[in-house]
Amino acid sequence: MSFQRGALGSGMADLFASESLPRLGPPDEAERRALVALSLVPGVGPGRVRALLVALGSAEAVMRAPAGRLVRAEGVGRQTAEAIRAWDDEPAVDAQFRQAAAVGARLVAFSDPEYPDLLRRIYDPPSHLWVRGRLTEADGLAVAVVGTRRASDYGRRAAEAFARDLASAGVTVVSGLAYGVDVTAHRAALAAGGRTVAVLGSGVDRIYPSRHAGVVRDILERDAGAVVSEFPLGAAPDAVNFPRRNRIVSGLCRATVVAEAYETGGALLTAGIALEQNREVFAVPGSVFAEASGTNRQIQCGEAALATSAADVLGAIAPQLDPPADLPAAPSEPTPPLNRVEQRLVDVLTPEPRPLDVVCAEADVDAATALVYLLQLEFRGVVRQLQGKQFARA
């Protein structure tokens, strides 16, 4: 495969190495093709790509360099160097750009003006992203809302409240499109009329999980954010991809909020990466009786600041905003006044779901009567009913 040195030259090395991270112009087509080719070479991950670009100045230079020159790059061994020299599959590069065009994706290189400034500043930024949708300057004020895939009602409500209020304040909400907390955060940001960015552990043409394709469609059709990935088009959502994905989730953001997490979950790993990136980390406290309360340990160990509302986050990352003015007003008390039975039922309910039999016993109301009044209260927005005849105060 033949590559000629592009306009970037040694400037790419300066760009990766400089703390000030000056912007260069977008790379030409040959350099973009070389970046894609380099990413397709087996065994060449983002760390090696970065080392090679720093050492040789451009992807084109990497692809045409002799093996002896390549092995001088940090972390690049003889086997990797030989794999780069042996790689000759221009049709695969063509296929990447064809598939990108088919799904409306484009390559955003490290030196492109659209490449997010915050992501540029992490230790191991991807050399390029595949992007569907649009990244804007407004996304420079972004917060990740992450958490467990096995979210409880409490975790989903926390994610929804934080994402909704952050989006209402003009903050872009970033997450990983996974089940549970992630997709709840994306949906809440969209419902609030805000922006959201979904970072995938697969190619941008392989939405995972597939049932969240509707969320992606909403993001794109509303011009309300972007779907991004560093993985090639067609890449499957393999488990090894998600730790790499997580550094981008936190790297795009000024802060990360963990809404709910198990102690061994990926959300806490994302929070740890955010700390390494010198970004703010917040955790929503969980019930001491719930297994998915890994956030409590984060707070206890000083790995995260306690957050009970989006105002806590906004106060730390965007002091120029006025959280009370920007956040939605608290809902007013329900009217008309509750009758005696309704009040007894509401008094024994909490924000956490409670089984009907427990509510009846504590309120001293039989089940048939309680159900009638609870359903009336649900209609008035005072009570929420959940699966399994469980009720909670709204």
Q: Are 180 and 151 in contact (CB under 8 A)?
A: yes
| Structure confidence at residue 323 (pLDDT) | 47
Average pLDDT, the chain: 86
Name the residue among 189, 154, 148 with its Cα closest to residue 172.
189
Decide: 229 and 237 in contact? Cβ < 8 Å.
Answer: no
Residue 49 vs residue 207, higher pLDDT: 207
**Per-residue pLDDT band at 319 (split at 50, 70, 90):** low
Cis status of the peptide bond prior to 336, with omega within 30 of 0: yes
* Residue range 137-326, CATH number: 3.40.50.450
pLDDT for 19 equals 38
Contact by Cβ (8 Å): 186, 196:
yes
Question: What is the mean pLDDT of the segment spanning 286-302?
Answer: 89
What is the residue whose two structure tokens read 């790419």?
Answer: 12
CA angle 251, 254, 256 (to 5 degrees): 75
pLDDT band of 90, cuts 50, 70, 90? very high
* Higher local confidence (pLDDT), 160 or 288: 160
**What tokens does 204 get?**
């941008």
Look at residue 352 in the predicted model and tell me its pLDDT: 83
DSSP 114: T
The pLDDT value given to residue 5: 29
Residue 389 predicted with pLDDT over 90: no
Question: What are the residue ranges of CATH 1.10.150.20 in the chain?
Answer: 11-90
Place of tokens 């190619």: 203
* Closest to 149 measured CA to CA, from 271, 241, 265: 265
- What number is the average pLDDT over the span 163-181? 96
Residue 57 CB partners (closer than 8 Å, separation 6+): 5, 8, 9, 10, 11, 12, 13
Phi, psi (deg, nearest 5) at residue 196: -145, 145
Q: What is the mean pLDDT of residues 238-258?
A: 95
**Residue 175 β-bridge partners:** 198
Question: What share of the chain has pLDDT > 70, as a percent?
Answer: 89
H helices present in the chain, as ranges: 11-17, 29-40, 46-56, 59-64, 67-70, 78-86, 90-103, 117-120, 153-168, 181-191, 213-221, 241-251, 266-276, 294-300, 310-317, 323-326, 340-348, 356-363, 367-379
Edge-to-edge strand ranges of the sheet holding 142-147: 105-109, 128-133, 225-229, 196-199, 172-175, 142-147, 255-260, 280-283, 305-306
Which fold does the domain 340-393 belong to in CATH?
Answer: Arc Repressor Mutant, subunit A (1.10.10)
Residue 18 has pLDDT above 50, yes or no: no
Instruction: Tell me: pLDDT of 8 over 70.
Output: no
Looking at the chain, the domain(s) classified CATH 3.40.50.450 span 137-326
pLDDT at 331 over 70: no
String of DSSP letters for 24-69: -PPP-HHHHHHHHHHHHSTT--HHHHHHHHHHHSSHHHHHHS-HHH
Maximum average pLDDT range among 5-19, 232-246, 328-342: 232-246
- Res 208 pLDDT > 90: yes
* CATH 1.10.10.10 domain extents, the chain: 340-393
pLDDT at 16: 46
Q: For residues 83, 84, 89 and 93, what is the CA-based torsion angle, rounded to 10 degrees?
A: 130
User: pLDDT at residue 334 above 80?
Assistant: no
pLDDT at site 336: 67
Task: Inform me whether the pLDDT recorded for 335 exceeds 60.
Answer: no
Which CATH number is 11-90's, of 3.30.565.10, 3.10.100.10, 3.30.70.330, 1.10.150.20?
1.10.150.20
pLDDT of the residue at 394: 78
> Which residue is listed with tokens 């086997």?
79
